Amino acid sequence: MVGEVDFNVRLEERIRELIIDYKLIEEGELVAVALSGGKDSLLVLHALAGLRDDLGFDIVAITVDEGIKDYREKGLEAARYNTKLLGVELVEKSFIGEFDFSLDEVYGIFKSPCIPCGVFRRYILNRTARSLGADKIATGHNMDDEIQSFMMSLVRGDTRKFSKFGPKLEVIHPRLIPRIKPLWNTSEKETETWAILNNIRVHLEDCPYSSLSLRSRIKKFLNRVESRRPGTKELMMKSFINTFKMEQEEVELFECEVCGEPASMRTCKACELLSVIRGSL
Ligand SMILES: Nc1ncnc2c1ncn2[C@@H]1O[C@H](COP(=O)(O)OP(=O)(O)OP(=O)(O)O)[C@@H](O)[C@H]1O
């Protein structure tokens, strides 16, 4: 089908241009793909696997099992299938293996399940990527995620988070692996279309905890506006790009007194949450 080929070519070309224009990946680097098994991180995996020889970099994938029953197993299965298909090594980590508890067991202690989930996942991804010698962590964050994050910062009045806007988060600590977003200018609708058109074995369900989040409410609102005024999301993205300089926030990071990982205070966020959990179990 000509339409399908065109779609794939245009998508790959856009990802390639973003990588080159923003210097997301340099020749000789090892990129760790944070792979959930969802459509976005699978597109990143397939796109980078297609570009690795041409642009001269290598990839490895890392997946984190948070311990969400009847949900994460399906993502893991998709991650295993696709990495095998593309000949990419998959490193599997889990909350149980690292901390001795699953998200299902501890989420009730916090205001939102997304708090421990995000903090521990980023912690494991960073440590694992570093131990593998990775130069970058590539995530599947897409244009919709970026607009949602921006709006969440506005709603919370937390302008510090604006510094995370952009396709690349620079090195701000030697133990922190820089994160890149190869789908920064690709919409969620396009990644969905890619997965369906190419018959990708993918995990399409939403996380059972996601409906509790502010992100989910903002996502629904944006989708409603988009369906009434098509093109709204793209215009919002353009406005953000034109209005805000993509400068990284000047933050001083220390080493956590407990585990030695990067921290903005005396202890890192993961160790802070761990002490709350240990005190409640
Ligand atoms: N369990 C996980 N293991 C590894 N990486 C993850 C995991 N969950 C999320 N990520 C990374 O963080 C990004 C954003 O997370 P998000 O919760 O939006 O993912 P998702 O919607 O479950 O899956 P995807 O974004 O791949 O479609 C993902 O694209 C992926 O790169």
* C-beta separation of 89 from 260 below 8 A: no
Q: What is the atom index within ligand 1 of the atom nearest the CA of 145?
A: 18
pLDDT per position as a tens digit, 107-144:
999 988 999 999 999 999 999 999 999 999 999 999 99
For all residues of the chain together, what is the average pLDDT? 92
Tell me how far apart the 2 most distant CA atoms of the chain are, in Å: 59
User: For 262-272, what is the mean pLDDT?
Assistant: 93
Rounded to two decimals, the pTM is 0.94
Please enumerate in sequence order all residues whose Cβ is within 8 A of that of 107, keeping only pairs 6 or more positions apart, or say none. 113, 116, 117, 209
For 216-237, the DSSP string reads HHHHHHHHHHHHHSTTHHHHHH
- The single-letter DSSP state of residue 264 is S
Q: Which residue has the higher pLDDT, 33 or 4?
A: 33
Q: How far is the CA of 2 from the centre of ligand 1 (A)?
A: 31
Of 74, 55, 17, 45, nearest in space to 137 by CA: 45
Q: What does the block give as tokens for 70?
A: 């009847």
* C-beta separation of 101 from 67 below 8 A: yes
Instruction: Please report which confidence band the pLDDT of residue 181 belongs to, taking 50, 70 and 90 as the band edges.
Output: very high
Lowest mean pLDDT among 51-55, 74-78, 115-119, 205-209: 205-209
Q: How far is the CA of 63 from the centre of ligand 1 (A)?
A: 9
How many Å apart are CA 86 and CA 196, to the nearest integer? Answer: 18
**The pLDDT of residue 249:** 58
Top mutation candidate among 31, 39, 40 for ligand 1, by most atoms within 8 Å of CB: 40
Does 22 score more than 70 pLDDT?
yes
Closest CA to ligand 1's atom 5: 34
Does 16 score more than 90 pLDDT?
yes
* C-beta separation of 141 from 134 below 8 A: no
Does 169 score more than 90 pLDDT?
no
